[in-house]
Amino acid sequence: MSAGDRGKLPSHVAFIMDGNGRWAKKRMLPRKMGHRQGVKALERVVDACAERGIGMVTFYAFSTENWARPQEEIDALFDMVAEFADTRMTEYVRRGFRVMFMGELSALPDKTKDAIARISAAAKDNTGMIVNIALNYGGRDEILRAVRTVVGSGVKDVDEQTLSDCMYTAGLPDPDVIVRSSGEKRLSNFMLWQAAYSEFVFMDDMWPDFGAEQVDAVLKEYASRDRRYGSVKRIG
């Protein structure tokens, strides 16, 4: 990456991890195996982003709509989250990463909630790369929660900042780029408020195939974009 490109390194990259099921189906494996490989891909992507100096990474792991899946798959997913929190995330905390979770966590199984609470507490004083996992997360649900908080507080003078301050990402940068794997081109209720000016990168690779190569492709694509925020094209 040239010195010029480095100036256009995103502060926050968010990933919609999609295609685990199709990856497994193609190999005649149960969907669960796709999710297992998906966790490995997440680990490769975290390492690649940390090496390249990204400040914050967000991963969409379970949506408010994913409860519609078979119970067996849901159980397997939350078991994997608990295991991931107790193992790899413990290493992340040692590496100084700030791990956080966003979503309606109260609905998760106790085992998963406990693991999340332990790792969040262990990471609370860290200042390194932020690793944010969206679990039972919905963009509309997040906006609704924020509105309810504001209404409940009785504040009348409501502006964008008031609502931003009630989001899970309060005080953190909006995603500069949102990446979705598996060829699907939609947000599926992800970071609706924060995505106002995000760049989008849609890639055909299934999530379990993601790693450093895909991260570099995203960063290259991002560096080539001209973000105008409603203004006119930059000169030069």
Interface residues with ligand IPE (CB under 6 A)?
Answer: 16-22, 60-63, 66, 77, 182, 184, 186, 188
CA atoms within 13 A on the CB side of 143: 10
Shortest reach from residue 15's CB to ligand IPE, in Å: 8
Shortest reach from residue 161's CB to ligand IPE, in Å: 28
Q: How many chain residues interact with Mg ion (CB under 5 A)? A: 1
12-37 core/surface letters (b: 16 or more CB in 10 A; e: else): bbbbbbbbbbbbbeeeeeebbbbbbb
The catalytically annotated residue of 18, 174, 176, 209 is 18
49-61 core/surface letters (b: 16 or more CB in 10 A; e: else): bbebebbbbbbbb
Reply yes or no on whether 126 is catalytic. Answer: no
Q: Among residues 12, 13, 14, 18, which is the contact residue for Mg ion, using CB under 5 A?
A: 18
Reply yes or no on whether 86 is catalytic. Answer: no
- CB nearer to ligand IPE: give 60 or 193: 60
Asked if 40 and 33 count as a contact pair (C-beta separation under 8 A), the reply is no
Candidates 130, 123, 122, 116; CA nearest to 14 is 130
Shortest reach from residue 73's CB to ligand IPE, in Å: 8
Q: Which range, of 18-26, 142-150, 165-173, 228-236, touches Mg ion by CB under 5 A?
A: 18-26
Catalytic annotation, residues: 18, 66
